[in-house]
């Protein structure tokens, strides 16, 4: 008899039911994944593409949807030199099917029962797993005080910008703070530099308030933010990080 591993480690087919543009480079893929057993906010899946000649390419993508949502959502940022992301953002369409497996990961996750306050720090598409946490928080009616500090290259490249504005307008315990590192619209009065210790000291709660921090984005940002938070006195055990490289995709 052949032993069968956990179902989350097996490849399955999911059908694309919608493609939602988020920014000029980013799209959300709404998937119907029959038999999906559910996930936790912050987890990811592996996606595998197979060419006609049998060549395969595989990448990991964070889950953007809350565990309470019916559909699985992956938000993909197109990398010009990537093997997988250009296909997912420019070619894939409604009715197509994707091979995926998961959910994967148990460290970089947050459940409403874990409490807070929450400090969520993101760079670029690193906001995706943090958005799953924000959506989960809204879905269960949590009022855990939450601050998102989100670094984007420009105003046009802020993923989920309108949804974040809507969440913050309806929920006084949620704040979304942006910093733009390359260009800002006329009249912009927010941060306009890379995230640093001074910015974190202004945005994050004090170490005495013992916030839970989740940091996700390119490796240099994650390392700098993680080091800065610990340097400001935050408990290293309450600072969780997830990073991705600048190539691949």
Domain boundaries 7-104, CATH class: mainly beta
Nearest-angstrom CA–CA distance, 75 and 102:
16
Domain spans in the chain, listed from the N-terminal domain onward = 7-104, 112-244
pLDDT above 90 as % of the chain: 87
* Residues 118 and 214 sit within 8 Å (Cβ to Cβ): yes
Model pLDDT for residues 120-161, shown as the tens digit of each residue: 999 999 999 999 999 999 999 999 999 999 999 999 999 999
**Would the pTM of this model clear 0.95, i.e. be above it?**
no
Q: What is the pLDDT of residue 244?
A: 75
Angle between helices 127-139 and 161-170 (to 10 degrees): 30
* Residues 48 and 99 sit within 8 Å (Cβ to Cβ): yes
Task: For domain 112-244, give its CATH number from 3.40.50.80, 3.40.1410.10, 3.30.70.980, 1.10.760.10.
Answer: 3.40.50.80
- Residue 248 pLDDT > 90: no
* Residues 134 and 167 sit within 8 Å (Cβ to Cβ): yes
Nearest-angstrom CA–CA distance, 76 and 215:
18
| Strand-strand pairing, 118-123 and 146-152 | parallel
Model pLDDT for residues 77-128, shown as the tens digit of each residue: 999 888 899 999 999 999 999 999 999 999 999 999 999 999 999 999 999 9
- Provide the mean pLDDT of the chain: 92
| 135-140 long-range Cβ contacts below 8 angstroms, 24+ apart | 135/41, 135/64, 135/65, 135/66, 135/69, 136/41, 136/66, 136/67, 136/68, 136/110, 136/111, 136/112, 137/112, 137/174, 138/66, 138/167, 138/171, 139/66, 139/67, 139/68, 139/69, 140/68, 140/112
């Amino acid at each position: 008899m052949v032993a069968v591993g956990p179902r989350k480690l097996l490849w399955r087919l999911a059908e694309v039911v919608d493609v939602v543009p988020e920014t000029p480079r980013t799209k959300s893929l709404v998937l119907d994944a029959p038999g999906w057993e559910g996930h936790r906010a912050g987890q990811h899946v592996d996606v595998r593409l197979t060419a006609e000649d049998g060549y395969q390419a595989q990448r990991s993508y964070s889950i953007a949807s809350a565990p309470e949502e019916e559909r699985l959502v992956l938000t993909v940022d197109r990398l010009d030199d990537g093997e997988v992301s250009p296909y997912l953002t420019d070619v894939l369409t409604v009715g197509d099917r994707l091979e995926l497996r998961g959910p994967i990961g148990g460290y970089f996750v947050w459940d409403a029962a874990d409490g807070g306050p929450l400090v969520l720090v993101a760079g670029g598409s690193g906001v995706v797993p943090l958005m799953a946490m924000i959506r989960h928080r809204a879905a269960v009616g949590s009022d855990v005080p939450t601050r998102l500090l989100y670094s984007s290259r420009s105003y046009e490249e802020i993923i989920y910008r309108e949804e974040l504005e809507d969440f913050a307008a309806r929920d006084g315990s949620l704040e979304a703070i942006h910093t733009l590192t390359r260009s800002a619209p006329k009249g912009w009065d927010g941060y306009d530099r890379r995230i640093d210790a001074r910015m974190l000291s202004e945005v994050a709660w004090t170490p005495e308030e013992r916030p839970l921090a989740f940091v996700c984005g390119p490796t240099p940002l994650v390392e700098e933010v993680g080091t800065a938070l610990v340097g400001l006195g935050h408990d290293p055990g309450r600072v969780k990080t997830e990073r991705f490289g600048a190539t691949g995709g």
